[in-house]
């Protein structure tokens, strides 16, 4: 195990003086990053950031739910994350009468905090390099041997660490393996959030864009098994000092996925499948948008579904533009040609890596069609909720699951909206799917997909199915004949036909899930080839650290963006009554009175809202703590900038910026705007 680390350490040592690119592994900070971090201004030792035996900063950083980061900010389990990370939970708790999502809300006491069913928070306990054993298992017994080794290790580690979950994760495309221990808490309660007009100010228009004026935060509390507020191993101190240009910052969190080492062929495949998703979502989102604008009840029901869809949709469009601007594919091809030349210059290298690139290219290009087919299936018919509800309900009944969970989903379901979606998506699917993927046999009179009158079919589907509302379903399910009849329910028939088509795309999905086998060899080659380049592993939703600086940027010739924004900008952007740019009247009053209290900037007296840094983050990092040189919380990371949308694939130091909400704005929103200042008493706030 040491060997791998040492090789990587040596390879990276030469690089580290470069830009602030890199999502670094915590156990390697000491060997790889400590010197540069100190030179850039960090006043903490690697052990203060990551230690297995002592409490360290990493103990305050958690996985929030399924795909975000959060941090503990009090000794009583108080947690802060982004508003967009708490969004689905807050939405699930909201009703038109108690619309926490739109209106904001704060618990007035612990007793008022609201449990969020299904939400959990996960702490990292430890990480251990097990590459030597994993690679030995593979060398001796192939992929199955590796799989067996992983399973046995996970089981043994879970058994010897009660209360923990063990998982083995692969890094550098399967060249390095870590055994990771996690501890999960599933009693998480909603403490409060600002109204959407603050937490999501700017909406989709401002999403992925700087300058930004969003108070993107929400608060929860973690409870232990006895129902008492969790006593954490570590909670973060908060600094009210604010940030200045060139200040050192570091971010700990869970970046989800990057493609920094992918080949041009793989990127082309990725772009092609994203194109399919963009096209489908454009159509579906237009339908949702129309309904949401017309009806506040539907707006609430579909708020999270819409935000989730449009976030990726906008990201992929930005990525495409960025890639074109920098000529990414050509650049990649040139790099690959140089790599191949280096390989071919040496017989040993040739033997090890000679065919890797060719194999990757063949696998990637060979799967593009199947992958696009799969995306079309998932983004078009599978985006209709009705067959999904039917499928989930039947599954819950069969595999002693919980049909109640499916019934609960009807709170956020509207059959009229879904019917509209079904119409446009089936029509789109029919126009673009191959004959082999046609949804034939949808019922009597609807045998051939090609001949169906889609409007008529959708009318029939929604009129005849028992799954269009909770009431209808409960009534039907109470009937003793339900089990016999349900397989003929048109939504079940549709679901079955769709599932049948899914089998055809399974090979593409397996590749998507496990990657191309030759990637491992190629990455090993890259590790050897790029002696002096950043070879931290691609993001894989394990905890990482990125260090950097507060920095402005110049998105184009003659234009320079400041590194921070202030409340003035909210007033400038205000569009009264608008879904994205409305400003709460309380916020306006506070602005008019310049009533910022101790949250005002010490130098200019204004209220600073957001700032940017060149830290290296991606989706999954949302909610991550932005820490100063002493490890104190100065902000929360929540987005990237439009000009740096290439960053999952290529980090451009001059343009890549991480967008953060200033912790002073967060506390202002809790205290002055939300009237929940009592919460600040449990925080450790440093002036
Ligand atoms: N772009 C952010 C991310 O991927 C999400 C921002 C959510 N805001 C919104 N308007 N949808 O983490």
Ligand 1 centroid distance, CA of 598 (Å) = 29
Residue 304 alpha carbon to ligand 1 centre in Å: 11
Closest-CA residue, ligand 1 atom 3, reads 639
**pLDDT band at residue 5, thresholds of 50, 70 and 90?**
very low
Average the pLDDT over 66-88 and give the result: 97
Atom of ligand 1 nearest to the CA of 621: 12
Mean pLDDT of 402-424: 95
Residue, of 224 and 531, whose pLDDT is higher:
224
Collapse the DSSP code of 626 into the 3-class scheme (helix H, G, I; strand E, B; otherwise coil) and give the result.
strand
pLDDT score recorded for residue 532: 66
- Inter-residue contact 170 to 602 (CB < 8 Å): no
In this structure, of 28-32, 88-92, 639-643, 662-666, the range with the lowest mean pLDDT score is 28-32
Give the model's confidence band at 402: pLDDT under 50 very low, under 70 low, under 90 confident, else very high.
Answer: confident
Give the chain's end-to-end CA distance (angstroms, integer).
Answer: 44
Band of pLDDT at residue 7, cut at 50, 70 and 90 = very low
578 C-alpha to center of ligand 1: Å? 19
Among the residues of 574-669, which ranges form H helices? 585-592, 663-668
Q: Which of 204, 206, 216, 414 does the annotation list as catalytic?
A: 216
Distance 361 CA to ligand 1 centre (A): 33
Nearest Cα neighbor of 300 from 414, 418, 424 is 414
* Active-site residue, 103 included: no
Active site residue 622: yes
pLDDT band of 31, cuts 50, 70, 90: confident
Q: Is 50 exceeded by the pLDDT of residue 4?
A: no
Q: Is the pLDDT of residue 220 over 60?
A: yes
- Predicted confidence (pLDDT) per residue in 518-564, tens digit: 999 999 999 999 876 657 999 999 999 999 999 999 999 999 999 99
Mean pLDDT computed over every residue of the chain = 94
- How far is ligand 1, taken at its centre, from the CA of residue 624, in Å? 14
Q: Tell me: pLDDT of 449 over 50.
A: yes
Give the model confidence (pLDDT) of 48-63 as tens digits: 999 989 999 999 999 9
Could you tell me the residue ranges of all domains in the chain? 23-120+186-208+217-238+536-686, 123-185, 264-514
| Consecutive H or E run containing 566 | strand 564-566
- Ligand 1 environment, Cβ below 6 A: 84, 200, 203-204, 207-208, 307, 311, 619, 622, 639
Percent of the chain residues past pLDDT 90, beyond the cut:
90
Mean pLDDT throughout 489-506? Answer: 94
Q: What is the pLDDT of residue 19?
A: 67
Q: Which among 131, 173, 218, 622 is annotated as catalytic?
A: 622
Query: Does 84 participate in catalysis according to the annotation?
Result: yes
Select which of 20, 59, 83, 84 is catalytic: 84
The pLDDT of residue 403 is above 60: yes
Higher pLDDT, 169 or 510: 169
The 8 Å CB, 24+ separation contacts for 329-334 are 329/264, 329/267, 329/268, 331/650, 332/263, 332/264, 332/267, 333/264
Confidence of residue 32 (pLDDT cuts 50, 70, 90): confident
Which pLDDT belongs to residue 534?
A: 56
């Amino acid at each position: 195990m040491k060997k791998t680390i040492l090789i990587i350490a040596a390879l990276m040592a030469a690089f580290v003086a470069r830009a602030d690119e890199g999502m670094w592994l915590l156990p390697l900070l000491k060997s790889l990053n400590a010197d540069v971090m100190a030179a850039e201004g960090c006043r903490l030792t690697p052990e203060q950031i990551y230690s297995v035996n002592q409490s360290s900063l990493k103990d305050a950083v958690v996985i929030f739910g399924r795909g975000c980061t959060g941090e503990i900010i009090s000794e009583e389990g108080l947690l802060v994350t982004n508003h967009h990370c708490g969004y689905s939970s807050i939405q699930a708790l909201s009703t038109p009468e108690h619309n926490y999502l739109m209106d904001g809300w704060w618990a007035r006491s612990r007793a008022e905090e609201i449990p969020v069913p299904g939400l959990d928070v996960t702490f990292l306990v430890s990480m251990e390099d097990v590459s030597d054993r994993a690679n030995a298992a593979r060398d001796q017994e192939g992929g199955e041997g590796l799989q067996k080794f992983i399973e046995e290790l996970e089981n043994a580690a879970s058994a010897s660490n009660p209360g923990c979950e063990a998982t083995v994760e692969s890094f550098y495309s399967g060249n390095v393996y870590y055994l990771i221990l996690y501890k999960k808490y599933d009693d998480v309660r909603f403490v409060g959030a600002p109204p959407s007009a603050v937490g999501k100010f700017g909406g989709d228009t401002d999403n992925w864009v700087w300058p930004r004026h969003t108070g993107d935060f929400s608060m929860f509390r973690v409870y232990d098994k006895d129902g008492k507020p969790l006593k954490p191993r570590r909670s973060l101190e908060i600094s009210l000092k604010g940030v200045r240009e060139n200040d050192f910052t570091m971010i700990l969190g869970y970046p989800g996925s990057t493609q920094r080492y992918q080949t041009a062929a793989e990127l082309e495949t990725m772009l092609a499948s994203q194109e399919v998703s963009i096209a489908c979502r454009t159509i579906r989102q237009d339908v949702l948008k129309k309904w949401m604008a017309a009806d506040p009840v539907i707006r609430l029901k579909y708020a999270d579904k819409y935000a989730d869809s449009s976030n990726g949709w906008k990201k992929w469009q930005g990525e495409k533009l960025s890639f074109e601007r920098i000529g990414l594919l050509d650049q990649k091809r040139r790099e690959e040609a140089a790599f191949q030349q280096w390989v071919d210059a040496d017989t040993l290298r040739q033997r090890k890596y000679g065919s890797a690139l060719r194999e990757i290219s063949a696998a990637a290009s060979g799967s593009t069609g199947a992958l696009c087919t799969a995306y079309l299936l998932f983004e078009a018919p599978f985006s209709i909720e009705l067959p999904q509800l039917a499928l989930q309900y039947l599954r819950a009944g069969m595999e002693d699951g919980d049909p109640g969970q499916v019934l609960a989903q009807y709170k956020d379901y509207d059959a009229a909206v879904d019917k509209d979606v079904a119409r446009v998506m089936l029509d789109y699917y029919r126009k673009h799917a191959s004959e082999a993927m046609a949804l034939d046999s949808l019922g009597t009179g609807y045998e051939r997909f090609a001949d169906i009158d889609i409007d008529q079919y959708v009318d029939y589907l929604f009129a005849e199915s028992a799954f269009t509302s909770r009431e209808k379903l409960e009534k039907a399910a109470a009937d003793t004949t339900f089990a016999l009849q349900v397989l003929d329910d048109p939504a079940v028939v549709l679901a079955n036909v769709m599932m049948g088509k899914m089998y055809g795309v399974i090979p593409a999905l397996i590749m998507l899930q496990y990657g191309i086998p030759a990637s491992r060899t190629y990455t090993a080659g890259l590790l050897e080839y790029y002696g002096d380049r950043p070879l931290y592993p691609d993001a894989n939703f394990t905890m990482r650290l990125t260090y950097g600086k507060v920095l402005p940027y110049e998105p184009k010739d003659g234009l320079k963006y400041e590194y921070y924004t202030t409340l003035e900008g909210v007033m400038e952007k205000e569009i009264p009554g608008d879904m994205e740019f409305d400003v709460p009247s309380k916020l306006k009053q506070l602005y008019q009175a310049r009533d910022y209290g101790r949250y005002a900037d010490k130098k200019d007296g204004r209220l600073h809202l957001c700032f940017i840094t060149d830290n290296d983050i991606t989706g999954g990092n949302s909610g991550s703590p932005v820490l100063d040189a002493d490890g104190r919380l100065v902000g929360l990371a929540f987005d990237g900038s439009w000009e740096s949308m290439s960053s999952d694939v290529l980090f451009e130091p001059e343009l890549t910026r991480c967008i953060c909400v200033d912790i002073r704005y967060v506390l202002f929103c809790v205290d002055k705007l939300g009237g929940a200042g009592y919460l600040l008493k449990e925080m450790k706030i440093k002036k």
